[in-house]
Amino acid sequence: MKSLSTELPQKRLQEIAIDDLGKINIHMKQIINTVNAPAAIGPYSQANMANGILYISGQIPVDPATGKLVEGIEKETHQVMKNLEAILTEAGMTFKNVVKATIFLKSMDDFAVMNDIYASYLDADSYPARETVQVSCLPKNVDIEISMIAHQD
């Protein structure tokens, strides 16, 4: 298979590949970043769009306006959902586009409170697939982190 990659405006990478049968395959990848969500705290992007699928990195409860953490599971969950919403918006999507969510909690004692807040941002007719996992530690010692996968209509 022969392939050619080229940089496009707005941090888009396009790869055109011709397989052994002469079929042309075009693959697009776009880095999604917004000032309305916290900057990545490591060597990763806020999100990547590839062939209509948006992969959002785990978001923690950092207020992008101040750069500070919010505290308490209620405020933390709201902030994480606002951060996710900002990234979805930057990619031209909403929570209705989300097909998968992964939630990390330091304590399952926070599950019910988190779950009610999480559900308030979503349409009951389009809940994504999801798992919630208890972990011993999260970045910056927060209580919650959520990542999502969304599909462009």
User: Tell me: the pLDDT tens digits for 28-48?
Assistant: 789 999 999 999 989 999 999
How many structural domains is the chain composed of? Answer: 1
Amino acid at position 42, single letter: G
Judge whether 27 lies within some domain.
no
What is the domain extent for residue 132? 33-151
The answer to whether 131 and 93 are in contact (CB under 8 A) is: no
The answer to whether 106 and 134 are in contact (CB under 8 A) is: yes
Kindly report, residue by residue over 74-130, the tens digit of the pLDDT: 999 999 999 999 999 999 999 999 999 999 999 999 999 999 999 999 999 999 999
> What is the reported pTM?
0.84
The CATH number linked to 43 is: 3.30.1330.40
Tell me which residue of 97, 100, 105 sits closest to 80, measured CA to CA: 105
Judge whether 14 lies within some domain.
no
Judge whether 101 lies within some domain.
yes
The Cα 26–Cα 36 span in angstroms is 31
pLDDT above 90 (res 21): no
